[in-house]
Structure 1
Amino acid sequence: MPKFLIQATYTPEGTKGLLTEGASGRRAAVEQVVTGLGGSLEAMYFAFGEDDIVLIIDFPDPVSMAAVSLTVKASGALHTRATPLLTLDEIDEAARRQVAFRAPGS
């Protein structure tokens, strides 16, 4: 199942919601969304600095991740970044593939 790293920053309205329902309330909401699309929440951490929250999520396919991303962004409560995560085996497979490429100016 594809794995994604999610990094997010709350907007002022999103922060107000977090203060109202707490971290456990947000975790429950995230798990409901993720499991509803056949995925699972591997890890969820709150942070301070550039990101307010960091998650690792498994989804059955990238389209499920895109659906969640669009819905969350449309809410206006968070600014998010989703990064696909690859296993060591997937990188080994990629390294074995031949790619025809010519660098600019070569």
Structure 2
Amino acid sequence: MPKFLIQSTYTTEGTKGLLSEGASGRRAAVEQIVTGLGGKVEAMYFAFGEDDLVLIVDFPDPVAMAAVSLNVKASGAVHTRATPLLTLDEIDEAARRQVSFRAPGK
């Protein structure tokens, strides 16, 4: 299953919701949306600084990740960034593939 790193920042309203329901309430909400699309939450950490929440999730396909991203962002309570994560074997496979590329100006 494709794996993604999700970095999130709460808006003021999102932070108020977090204060109201606590971290365990947010964990339950995240689990529900991820498992509802056939995914799995591998790790979930709260942080402070640029990001408020960091997750590693598995989804059956990138479209499931996009569906979650669209719905979460539409709430207006959270700003998110999703980064696809690749295994070492996947990078080795990518390195073996022949790609014809011409650099700009060459």
Q: TM-score with structure 1 length normalisation?
A: 0.99
Match of 1:41 in 2: 41
Looking at structure 1, the residues matched to 20 and 41 of structure 2 have their Cα atoms a distance apart, in angstroms, of: 22
Match of 1:20 in 2: 20
Structure 1 residue 105, shift from structure 2 partner: 1.1
Matched residue SS, 2:5 = strand
Moved beyond 4 Å, runs of 4+: none
Aligned residue pairs: how many?
106
Looking at structure 2, the residues matched to 75 and 9 of structure 1 have their Cα atoms a distance apart, in angstroms, of: 13
Looking at structure 2, the residues matched to 32 and 104 of structure 1 have their Cα atoms a distance apart, in angstroms, of: 46
The equivalences for 1:1-106 within 5 A come to 1-106=1-106
Calculate the aligned-residue CA RMSD, in Å.
0.3
Tell me, which stretches of 5 or more residues in structure 1 are unaligned?
none
Identity of aligned residues (%): 88
Looking at structure 2, the residues matched to 29 and 46 of structure 1 have their Cα atoms a distance apart, in angstroms, of: 14
Matched residue SS, 2:19 = helix
Q: TM-score with structure 2 length normalisation?
A: 0.99
Q: Which amino acid aligns with 1:82?
A: A
